[in-house]
């Protein structure tokens, strides 16, 4: 991907919003956002010769794309994943089973919100540990106050859980069956708190990106970025 065509990008966003779980569309969506990841990171470092770690492989579509095109290892942190499309290593993000200074680039996309708050700092510290000097991490979170952040409860997740569950089941076909956010490992993350733990770990922020809507300037505006950015990427260096 030499550049992002915004018309094509928004068409894909709309298509994936409604059709991502049909046929091969989920894999296509993952492949596309893998390309977006490469495009964003390549502005800071050429990843073609870099050793990559994908922390949080889930069902493996991201990992499959990266491993087929680059030098990428994968940790699968998803306790609910019954199968993957790519070989992954089961592990915990706060105890990564690799030596210090093992990787040039760590991808940590859409994972922090599934880790209990008390483990957030330890997790980011682990990413810092396994990176080589001047290594880069690509850390993506959905700020909690954005309507997109609630996963199965969105856009009602800001309500108390019983209310959010009732409204979601009232208006959507796919019903919420769990009884708490913790039951599905979903925890509140914000731009402000994530930036804080990134800096405590020792990282320096190179840039921030609006992964989906591409309005990158909003990621620089406090308060607004908590509400208007569906997924923010922190591109940071050790």
Identify the pLDDT of residue 149.
93
- Inter-residue contact 145 to 227 (CB < 8 Å): yes
pLDDT for res 223: 95
pLDDT > 80? residue 2: no
pLDDT in tens, 153-169: 999 999 999 999 999 99
Model pLDDT, residue 11: 92
Ranges 23-27, 128-132, 145-149, 177-181: which has the least confidence: 23-27
Paired with 132 in beta bridges are none
* All domains of the chain in start order, with CATH: 33-150+186-237 (3.40.50.150)
- Provide the b/e sequence for 112-124 (b: ≥16 CB within 10 Å): bbbbeeebbeebb
- Residue in the structure block whose two tokens are 């390309």: 35
pLDDT score for 199:
98
Q: If residue 127 lies in a helix (H) or strand (E), which one and from where to where? A: helix 120-130
> What's the whole-number average pLDDT of the chain?
90
pLDDT bracket for residue 232 (50, 70, 90): very high
The answer on pLDDT for 208 being more than 70 is yes
pLDDT tens sequence across 182-193:
998 899 999 999
What value does the CA radius of gyration of the chain take, rounded to a whole number of Å? 17
Q: Is the pLDDT of residue 80 over 60?
A: no
pLDDT at 170: 94
CA–CA separation, 154 and 168 (whole Å): 8
Q: CA-CA distance, 151 to 117, in Å (whole number)? A: 17
> E strands of the chain, at which residues?
51-55, 71-76, 89-90, 103-109, 131-141, 204-210, 232-237
Q: What is the pLDDT of residues 81-126, one digit of tens each?
A: 556 666 677 788 889 999 999 999 999 998 999 999 999 999 999 9
Instruction: Give the whole-number percent of the chain exceeding pLDDT 90.
Output: 61
């Amino acid at each position: 991907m030499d550049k992002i065509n915004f018309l094509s990008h928004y068409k894909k966003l709309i298509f994936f919003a409604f059709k991502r779980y049909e046929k091969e569309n989920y894999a296509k969506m993952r492949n596309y956002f893998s390309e977006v990841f490469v495009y964003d990171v390549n502005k800071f470092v050429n990843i073609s010769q870099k050793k990559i770690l994908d922390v949080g492989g889930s069902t493996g579509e991201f990992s499959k794309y990266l491993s087929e095109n680059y030098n990428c290892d994968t940790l699968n942190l998803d306790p609910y994943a019954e199968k993957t499309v790519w070989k992954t290593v089961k592990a915990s993000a706060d105890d990564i089973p690799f030596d210090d200074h093992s990787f040039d680039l760590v991808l940590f996309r859409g994972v922090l919100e599934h880790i209990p708050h008390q483990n957030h700092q330890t997790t980011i510290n682990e990413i810092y540990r396994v990176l080589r000097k001047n290594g880069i991490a690509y850390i993506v979170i959905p700020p909690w106050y954005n309507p997109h952040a609630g996963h199965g409860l969105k856009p009602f997740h800001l309500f108390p859980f019983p209310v959010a569950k009732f409204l979601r089941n009232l208006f959507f076909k796919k019903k919420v069956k769990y009884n708490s956010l913790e039951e599905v490992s979903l925890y509140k993350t914000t731009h402000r708190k994530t930036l804080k733990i990134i800096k405590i770990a020792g990282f320096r922020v190179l840039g921030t990106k609006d992964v989906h809507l591409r309005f990158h300037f909003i990621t620089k505006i406090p308060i607004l970025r908590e509400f208007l950015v569906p997924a923010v990427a922190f591109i940071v260096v050790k």
